Amino acid sequence: MVGKRIIAICQSGGEFESNAEGLLSYRGGDAHAMEIDDKMKFKDFKLEVAEMFSCNLGTLAIKYFLPGNKKTLISISNDKDLKSMLKFHNDSDTAEIYVMTEEIAAPDVSQMLGSRSSRTTLSEADVPVDASPSLVENIVGDVNKPDILLGADFDVVGDTNHDEAQTVVPSEMPISSEMPISGDLPLPVSFTASFDEKHTKAAQQWQNNITGVGQRFNSVHEFREALRKYAIAHQFSFKYKKNDSHRVTVKCKAEGCQWRIHASRLSTTLLICIKKMNPTHTCEGSVLATGYQATRSWVASIIKEKLKVFPNYKPKDIVNDIKQEYGVQLNYFQAWRGKEIAKEQLQGSYKEAYSQLPLFCEKIMETNPGSLATFTTKEDSSFHRLFVSFHSCLYGFEQGCRPLLFLDSIFLKSKYQGSLLAATAADGDGGFFPVAFAIVDMESDDNWHWFLQQLKTALPMCRGLTIVADREKGLRESIAEIFQNEDVYHAYCLRYLSEQLLRDLNGQYSHEVKKLMVEDLRSAAHASMPEGFQRHVESIKSISVEAYNWVMQSEPVHWANAFFQGARYNHMTSDFGEQFYSWVSDAHELPITRMVDAIRNRIMELIYSRHTQSLEWLTPTLTPSMDERIRLTPSMEERLEQESLKIRTPPQVLILASNRFEFRGDTVETVDVENCDCSCRGWRLTGLPCFHAIAVIGCLNRELRDYCSRYFTIDSYRITYSQSVNPITSIDDTWQKDTSELAVTVTPPPTRRPPGRPTTKQVSAQDVGRRQLQCSRCKGTGHNKSTCKEFLLEC
């Protein structure tokens, strides 16, 4: 979000009102407007707001609601919070800001019997007798800061028969009561009241979650959640005495405190009713016994709405926000686990998604006739692999794209890991076009073989097809076996070939030497004639005979332009569909059915946007009377124009036969107009006339675009994107019902994501083969001079 500006409607002096559903509304007060952008600093923003309402800068609190959520107020206390607020309101022109003052005030102890915030006053506090007035002033001045819990201890209480650990965070710090008080300090002042007042404003909506005997709840889970929020709002911790599916008995954790509650199921119903409750706390606020109750599910309920707006909400930010809003101190794992639960609540269950696969595949083929969606399981019914190819993709490839496919894969960092295998194509304008993909438990020879079998089923007419792929991972054998009776060519990916060369050289060459050999290898691959190929491999031989032998044994017929028999239109690597893999990276954490649907949605948007864009294309170089079908796409028109500029001087064109001509310029080339070929082989390699052919066609006064590949025309491009992808029926309760009636059961694969935070940085193709650690003594790789074995042997 660069340059985003919004109008902040700042309101102050009013009060919040809550309706029956817990939604908050602001009534009364004054309002002012100001413009803010992503360059504004928080301190400048706060200063301007303070001047606007003539508020004390030290007691000012600024809050706002997330879009669509009127239940929870979010604080703005630093630059990051301010930028987050702007990001949340990226789709809006205005944002409502609420300005409040937080003052240290003497609470009415008589009105706070159920709350811990009135238990420890400064007159009872434990401050050294000889404390200076400045020390007292610092203590009172800092009581609103969330980091005041100096020397606090933490305790974890395990729920009996309940699998969620509860975090107890102390809310009070003992201060000596023997200190003489002087000056203008207000007395009595509740130390925890001032601390908790700031952090419990967000929890005030929960103060009446528990009302007393007779209150009913729909389930035990609902009662537990209400009790936890009630404890947070009133700032005490509790422990379970009984906790099962039909009864719950809870008491205050403080030793000797009389507060307790008992709820059990009403007979013949599933309702839980509070049968007994003593609402009065008699404890005096023990550091170990008092605190807050927080579980993973509670964290999930707090962050769910924000996570919906901000999917990249980080656990460390969750820890900070909950500490700031509720005074609850979480550790990183609790925040991470809470986020995982919230994501599952928003996105659906991973386990249920696998069980929905049989019906999901049926729905794909039902809503998109002509599509292919199939899956397999292992002997234990666990997921093995899923293949998906939509009819619009198959039709677009067969009717409008070059007969050229790129095979590649990407690792999935989802809960159950796995890999995604994909086949992509190139459209008439040089953009990628998705054809088919598969989600498998791992990338293996067997899974690639199965993927190619399904691809052959989906594309029965594949004569003249060129497949650009790695020669490893069983692909060489699988392509040869599955397409053995077809006119199909396997072009080795030059990127993988270069990486394999570097690995097989055994680290005996320096980085610079390896770089030279890789450059020669790529030049040899691009050379259109055998002479050029031989010249570049001889350059490799002059550096290393071993590398030369490796190159000559790597089957140049599968990767060198000079010998390759198929048509790959000068595409040398298989990573053509990088944008498709970025889609997968964005959706890899979703359950499998939602991941596939997210990819389907991206394909649907791609087809619609490119088809709409093509309707606006015009080619000024064509006359109005020219046939629409021979107009080229913009990128191909540009390439054709650039090729024409290579004709510097008027060449000499001689007729050799009816359709064969000789071009005489800087070089002498033979052009066969009828067969679209030139002795330089540039026309055949690219599908566009080389400048030798352009000169000949110009001399014949013929239309140049008649001699370009039909796959580069606007007409073919529009055919590629002519079929839309239809939405799949929504995954709802009816799916659950239908799934239970299916004979095939699919369970999650046994692989699970390893512990620890997964990496989020995707390694690009350019990063592969990055420079290794190199020794400055022996020039070897993988170590430095301090650990060089050869140097140690010499010593």
* Three-class SS state of 272: strand
The full length of the chain comes to: 795
**Ramachandran assignment for 101, one of left (phi > 0), alpha (psi -120 to 50 degrees), beta (any other):** beta
pLDDT of 433 over the 50 cut = yes
pLDDT of amino acid 492: 93
Residue 174, Cβ density class (10 Å: 0-12 exposed, 13-18 middle, ≥19 buried): middle
* Pick from 123-132, 557-566, 618-627: least confident: 123-132
What phi and psi values does residue 169 have, to the nearest 5 degrees?
-115, 120
Instruction: Report the chain's mean pLDDT, rounded to a whole number.
Output: 78
Question: Using CA atoms, how far apart are residues 74 and 79, in angstroms rounded to an integer?
Answer: 14
Q: What percent of the chain shows pLDDT beyond 90?
A: 31
Q: Count the helices and strands in the chain (H runs, E runs).
A: 25, 26
Quick check: 544 and 517 in contact, CB under 8 A? Answer: yes
| DSSP per position, 564-578 | --S--TT---SGGGH
Burial class, 776, CB count within 10 angstroms (exposed 0-12 / middle 13-18 / buried 19+)? exposed
State the pLDDT at residue 790: 53
Cα torsion at 691, 692, 694, 700 (round to 10°)? Answer: 160
d(CA 544, CA 646): 37
> pLDDT grade, residue 587 (50/70/90)?
confident
DSSP 726-761: PPPPP-SHHHHHHHHT-S---B--S--PPSSPPP-P
pLDDT at 666: 83
Phi, psi at residue 697, to the nearest 5°? Answer: -65, -35
Full strand arrangement of the beta sheet holding 30-37: 30-37, 5-12, 94-101, 60-65, 73-76
pLDDT at 92: 84
Q: Strands, DSSP E only, in 470-604?
A: 489-492
284: left (phi over 0), alpha (psi -120 to 50) or beta: alpha
pLDDT tens figures, 217-258: 999 888 988 888 888 878 788 888 888 888 999 998 888 888
Q: Assess whether pLDDT exceeds 70 at residue 757.
A: no
Q: What's the rounded Cα separation, in Å, for the pair 733 and 531?
A: 67
287, burial (CB in 10 Å: exposed 0-12, middle 13-18, buried 19+): middle
The per-residue DSSP string of 91-131 comes to T-SEEEEEEEE-------GGG-TT-GGGS-BGGG-B--TT-
For residue 490, the cross-strand partners are 467
Residues 6+ apart with CB under 8 A from 45: 36, 62, 76, 82
Q: What is the tens place of the pLDDT at every residue in 281-310? A: 888 644 333 335 677 888 888 898 888 888
Query: What mean pLDDT comes out for the span 354-369?
Result: 93
Q: Is residue 718 predicted with pLDDT exceeding 70?
A: yes
Question: What digits encode the pLDDT tens for the residues 467-519?
Answer: 999 888 788 899 999 988 778 999 999 999 998 888 888 667 788 888 899 99
Distance CA(418)–CA(751), nearest Å, equals 8
Interaxial angle between packed helices 592-614 and 578-587, expressed in degrees from 0 to 180 and rounded to the nearest 10: 140
**Residues in CB range of 366: below 8 A, 6 or more apart:** 729
Is the CB of residue 500 less than 8 Å from the CB of residue 472? yes
pLDDT band at 600 (very low <50, low <70, confident <90, very high): very high
CA distances from 367 to 391, 723, 733 (A): 10, 13, 19
Most confident of 144-148, 168-172, 558-562: 558-562
Torsion of CA 219, 261, 287, 113, to 10 degrees: 120
Lowest pLDDT segment from 327-331, 731-735, 791-795: 791-795
CA distance 346 to 306: 11
Tokens of 499: 């990486």
pLDDT tier for residue 564 given thresholds of 50, 70 and 90: very high
Give the model's pLDDT for residue 3: 65
Q: What are phi and psi of 117, to 5 degrees?
A: -75, -5
Q: Average pLDDT of 432-446?
A: 93
The burial class, CB within 10 Å (0-12 / 13-18 / 19+), for 490 is buried
CA angle 520, 524, 526 (to 5 degrees): 115
Distance CA 711, CA 464 (A): 14
Place of tokens 């894969």: 409
Looking at per-residue pLDDT, the higher value among 457 and 416 belongs to 457
Q: Percentage of the chain with pLDDT > 70? A: 76
pLDDT in tens, 625-666: 455 556 899 999 999 999 999 888 777 888 888 888 999 888
The answer to whether residue 136 scores a pLDDT higher than 80 is no
Query: Quick one: pLDDT at residue 216?
Result: 92
pLDDT at 537: 93
Q: Label residue 522 by pLDDT band (50, 70, 90).
A: very high
Asked whether residue 740 carries a pLDDT value surpassing 60, the answer given is no
For 438, which DSSP code?
E
DSSP conformational letter for 443: -
Q: Helix, strand, coil shares of the chain as percentages rounded to 5?
A: 40, 20, 40
What confidence tier does 118 reach under pLDDT thresholds 50, 70, 90?
very low
Output DSSP code: residue 774.
B
Q: What is the pLDDT of residue 282?
A: 85
At 65, the amino acid letter reads F
Q: Is the pLDDT of residue 180 over 80?
A: no
Q: How far apart are CA 609 and CA 628, in angstroms?
A: 21
The mean-pLDDT minimum among 140-144, 282-286, 646-650, 712-716 falls in 140-144
Rg (CA), the chain: 35
Q: How many CB atoms lie within 10 A of CB 558?
A: 17
Residue 61 banded pLDDT, cuts 50, 70, 90: confident
Q: Which residue type does 137 have? A: E
The predicted structure's pLDDT at residue 67? 84
pLDDT of residue 772: 55
pLDDT score recorded for residue 782: 63
Q: What is the 3-state secondary structure (H, E, C) of 156-200?
A: EEECCCCCCEEEEECCCCCCECCCCCCCCCCCCCEHHHHHHHHHC
Which of the two residues, 533 and 345, has the higher pLDDT score?
A: 533
Q: Of the ranges 142-156, 213-227, 326-340, 512-526, which one carries the lowest mean pLDDT score?
A: 142-156
How large is the average pLDDT for residues 692-716? 91
- What burial letters (b/e) apply to 722-733, b meaning 16+ CB within 10 Å? ebebbebeebee
Note if the bond before 188 is cis, omega within 30 degrees.
yes
Query: How far is C-alpha 703 from the geometric centre of its chain's CA atoms?
Result: 49
Q: Tell which wins on pLDDT, 25 or 536.
A: 536
Please tell me whether residue 591 adopts helix, strand or coil conformation.
coil
- CA max distance for the chain: 116
Alpha-carbon distance of 567 to 704, in angstroms, equals 21
Average pLDDT over residues 773-791: 61
Q: State phi, psi for 625 to the nearest 5 degrees.
A: -80, -5
Contact (Cβ atoms closer than 8 angstroms) between residue 631 and residue 714: yes
> Measuring CA to CA, which residue among 401, 402, 395 is closest to residue 722?
395
Q: pLDDT tens across 603-628, in order? A: 999 999 999 999 988 644 444 445 55
Strand order of the β-sheet with 216-217 is 216-217, 272-278, 260-265, 247-252, 238-243
Bridge partners (DSSP) of residue 151 are none
- C-beta separation of 427 from 576 below 8 A: no
- Cross-strand pairs, 662: 654, 670
- pLDDT greater than 70 at residue 211: yes
- Identify whether the C-beta of residue 568 lies closer than 8 Å to the C-beta of residue 426: no
Q: Which residue has the higher pLDDT, 172 or 753?
A: 753
Strand-pairing partners, residue 492, are: 469
